[in-house]
Structures are given as C-alpha cells and as structure tokens.
Chains A and B, each alone.
Chain A
C-alpha cells in the first residue's frame, strides 16, 4: 500500500458513497457557476470567494442542494500550505459547508477562506434555517462572526467563556501531575505563549 490515495473510479464498489454523478461521467465539469471544482478523494469540492458565497449557496439550493448536512470551520494556523485552486489565497480560517442533494443523491462541499483580521462570514440562515446551530457552533469554537445571524451566541461553551477553544492557538490545557518536575509551575494556559492570536 502506498501513501498516495487511489481515486475511486466509476466502477468502484458501493463503499464509495459520495461518488456523485459528476465524478462518474468522464467529462466532469471543472467549474460550477464560474467557481473552480476540485476533487478530494473522489468527493467534489468547490472553492468560492467570500463575497460570492451566499449567492452560490442560493443558486445551488435552486439546483437541488436543498439540505446543508454540515457546516463547520477549520483553523489552518499551523498548516497554511494546503492545496487551493489558482486565485485563492490561503487564509487562516476556512468555513466548510457540506451540501446534500436528495433528489439526485449527490453531495457537494463548499469551502470559503476567512481571513483572521476580518473573521466574518455571511449567514446561511435565510436559505437554510438548519444552519443556525452549526453557525453558532462555528462562532463559539472559532470566533467567526456570521453576519445577520438571528441569535449569534455561544452554544456549547458557557456564556462568559473567554476565547474560542478550537483555535489552534488555544491550548488543550494540562492537569499538573503531582511529584513531577513542573508540578509547581504547571498551570492551565488558555493561550499558547508565543503564537500570535
């Protein structure tokens, strides 16, 4: 077995559940509404600039992607060099939306780059009300502000919590072990020293 992943072909057995109609046909489209499509382990991914994000989701909703299966964010602070299509600058945050088309039985993943100095993103609440809790979770965990969200409050952490735990510069914390060398000095840091916030 090599490290390189195999791309499942059209004749792949059904274990590949995300094999969409688009990847199965030979002439797979390379873009959708002008946004570049890419392939990630046989799954279709579209990258979109933040300004066009809401518009694309609306167009896709009209095309049948009527459910948002999942919306989450990723903090790429310590892994900036990931592969993005031409014309996309890697930013610290990324919002990842997994769309589901029930009629055509296909999935599509939308990835949006969110810069840290302006960590805002339009809400999908008006198109898909089901993203309400997911966006609150992304806000809670990463501090990405979803503008026009009806109730953008913390959802999992307590109201008065400081910081956004899933950011990469937020340490997991340590429990001091008795009789160890650092017992007296070990505390529970909330922020890793030396890493820019």
Chain B
C-alpha cells in the first residue's frame, strides 16, 4: 500500500487482507500507481459492523436521501430471538445465491443477508461474464462493430445492432438518408425481437416460479420467431444483420406469409398463457405485492423499460422520443399500477400483443425500395458488380479490410429495447474505428433495483424478483 490515507476507513475482507478506501476529502492522492488503485476492497457483502452508514443504506435498498439515523433504523435487525444477544452477526446469515443458480439467469451472483427466511440486505455481484466488449469495440472497425454489440444482449441482438448502427449513422451524418424500406425493415425486426425476448421472459419467469410447462411453451413460441429470423438473417441469434447504412440483405421471398403465420399462431397461445398464469390464484399470490417499487424510486435508480412502466410512469422511447417510424404506427404504452412483479409480468405479456399490432401495421405499410443506403462510402458494391468491375472489387476489398472513416465527434443514441433504454455512446477521432464505444445496458442499470425490491421479502420471492427484472448477463457484464 503506497497511498496516503487521509480520512479512509480500514476494512478487512474474508482473506484477512486489509483494504483501505480513500475518501480523499481534499483530493490528496499520490501519483496513482496501478497497484495502489487495485486494492480498493472486496466486492462482497460484508458484515454490518464493517459498514459505513451510507453503504448499509444502499444495501438495505434505501433509495432516496434519508438521514443517517433513519438509515441506522432501516439497517437494525428486528425480531431478536429471545435468549441471544441483539448482535446482527448472531441473528443473521450471509449467503451466496449464484453465480451458478438456475434462477439467476446466467451468472448473476447475489449475496443475501438472511434472518430466517427473510432477506434483510442484498448485493448483486457481477462481472463473471465480463469479456471486455467495449475494449474489443475499440479494436474493430465501424463495419465490424455489429458483430461485437450483437453479442451483448443476446436475447435481443437486433436492438443492439440497431442502436450501434444508428449512432454510427448519426456520426456520419447520414441518419436522415436511410431508405424508407430499410427503416421499416428495422422496425419489423426490432418488434419481432421484442416478441421473442418477451416470450423468453414468459418461459423463464414461469420456470423460476415452478410453472414448468410454461417454460416449454415460452421456448416453443420463441423458437418460431427465431425460425423467422433464421430465414431472414441466416442465424437464430447474433445476426449482425442491421448494419450502418441499412441492412445486410433484403427480406427473403415469402417473408410476408411467415409473418402472417406467426401473427395467427401466437395470439391463441397468449390466451393460453392467460389461462395458465394470469388468472390463476397461485400465480397471483406468488407475484402480487412482491418486489414493489415506486415511480420516484425507479426514476432515481435509473430504471427504464417494464420496471419503470410497472410503477405507472408512461415512458417508452418509441412513443416519447420516436425513432425509426414509430410515430407512424399506432400502439399503446402498457403501464402498471403497483410496481410489483405481477405488473411487470402483465406488461411484458401485453407488450407482445402491442408488438404484434405494430407488426401488422408494418406489413401494410412496408414500402418497396432499397434496403441499404446507396452511398459508396459505407455500402459495399453489389456482388454481381465485383465479377465485372475491377474498381468494384477494390472498393469491396477496401471497405471490408479498412472500413470507412467516421468524422470526429461524439453522440449518444438511445432506443427502447425489451429491457429498457439501450444507449450507445460513440466518440470518434476520425478514423475507421470508434475511439470509445460505450453501451448503456438496461439490465446493468436495472439490477440496481434489486436491493430495494428485495428488502424484507422471502428467499422464494427473491427468485421471483430476479426473474421480473429480466436481466441478461451478457449485457450486464459486457
């Protein structure tokens, strides 16, 4: 430890190592060596006796500003068992849930402080799937970037590609010149992706709560949508189909029939879901009043998407800050009332219906024309031209090896993904690779709601709450 500590507190982690945090009230930090800054302390949930009031306040899920005495009262352990001391360490137990747990949707690890079956504190610990995708994004050209971002939120890959492409196009200044057909195709794919993502939520949410047949039904319907994606893009997932300038290819012959078949098949299946779950008393008992969050708290925590809408806040970027041609289609923004797990389930179920409503309008309005911008700077020449023109071959080669240069600048573009606001911040230095590519993953931010939603719930409800946040760890960890 080579740092000067002015007002830091000392903590000991489970390995007996001493860590020091620097509060640097007067910014007095030594010339920062890398080593000094890496021992900032453990990420795990620690016993109450080692916590500052502020940290405790966050772990018990106090969102809005409260006084320290209120925080202490929140953090106090009630219901002391007779015959024991009132020490928190005697009353409670800190346990791990995950990262290997079927209900944690991947590699989410939660540390829970339990008193009996009741969760007193919770801390999500993430990073187990971190593969440095933002660093990788700086090494790939704008042309190649789609393959990288599509793997972040692997349940709704087309939305990732869309936001990355829109940010790149904005930097290039061609965002108003994208052909109409490309824009409507993007909308079609984005909405179909919302359907497949929410269908997967139906499956996992059912599975987490013991409705195992629901799991099979959800996966089954999602697979039908993925089959459509496979026909259009060639892949079930990680499509890299939406690219800067448009799309990789036009819709295949017979796409309209495939979409119509889906639109016919899915509504009766959703009716089945309603019978199986929505009206069923056990299902309602498991979800209603569980994991409640208010609008003010959700906004303060940065929550977006179904979590924010479940609190009754009608905020949907498709309607409120329209992109693509969402102002030309009619749809309803589904909001909840109580901000509980049931509202979030019902919102997603009904958003599938709204997405189908949008898809129906897209079928009617899909214009003909080009599926990508005819701008030689960003669009490779057609395949047929390569056989007959040397220049086309060179152009094709250059654009795929060197990429295209993007003017200097920085933009932040956000769209509504199935999980909330997915944003892409790109800073360009004028070269063919993004200087900095940052993706604001909705799951990453939404996970911060967990400690708040879980306070004083049961362990079984914790499973329901994780499920209702619907995190995708590929996007959380990036």
Contacts and interface: CB of A to CB of B under 8 A. Distances in A.
Given A14-B322, A197-B34, A109 B24 contact: no
Contacts of B55: 150-151
A158 B27 contact: no
Interface residues of A, number: 75
A43 B435 contact: no
A67 B299 contact: yes
A195 interface: no
A41 B173 contact: yes
Contacts of A72: 425, 436, 438, 440
Contact of B176 (A3, A15, A130): A15
A47 interface: no
A112 B410 CA distance: 14
Interface stretch (B98-106, B337-345, B389-397, B442-450): B442-450
Interface stretch (A4-12, A26-34, A177-185): A4-12
Given A14-B327, A74-B436, A128-B302, A166 B134 contact: yes
A3 B178 CA distance: 16
Interface of B: 21-25, 27, 29, 31-32, 34-35, 37-43, 52, 54-55, 57-58, 63-65, 126-127, 130, 132, 134-136, 139, 170-178, 183, 299-304, 313, 315, 317, 320-327, 375, 377, 405, 407-415, 421, 423, 425, 427, 429, 435-436, 438, 440, 444-445, 447-448, 477-478
Given A69-B421, A151-B55, A41 B171 contact: yes
A175 B57 CA distance: 44
B436 A5 contact: no
Contacts of B415: 17
A66 B126 CA distance: 26
Given A66-B299, A129-B63, A172-B139, A40 B175 contact: no
B425 A98 contact: yes
B156 to A, nearest CB: 18
Given A67-B302, A74-B435, 12 more contacts: A1-B377, A15-B178, A15-B323, A40-B409, A41-B411, A70-B412, A74-B410, A102-B320, A105-B321, A145-B24, A152-B40, A153-B43
B321 A18 contact: yes
Interface in A146-169: 147-148, 150-166
B423 A13 contact: no
A43 B323 contact: no
B438 A130 contact: no
Nearest to B35: A162
B22 A145 contact: yes
B57 to A, nearest CB: 8
Contacts of B411: 40-41, 43
B14 to A, nearest CB: 11
7 contacts: A68-B302, A72-B438, A151-B58, A152-B40, A156-B127, A157-B130, A191-B34
B444 to A, nearest CB: 6
A130 to B, nearest CB: 3
A126 interface: yes
A139 B438 CA distance: 14
Contacts of A1: 172-174, 177, 375, 377
Given A14-B323, A17-B321, A130-B302, A153 B40 contact: yes
Nearest to A139: B40
A74 to B, nearest CB: 5
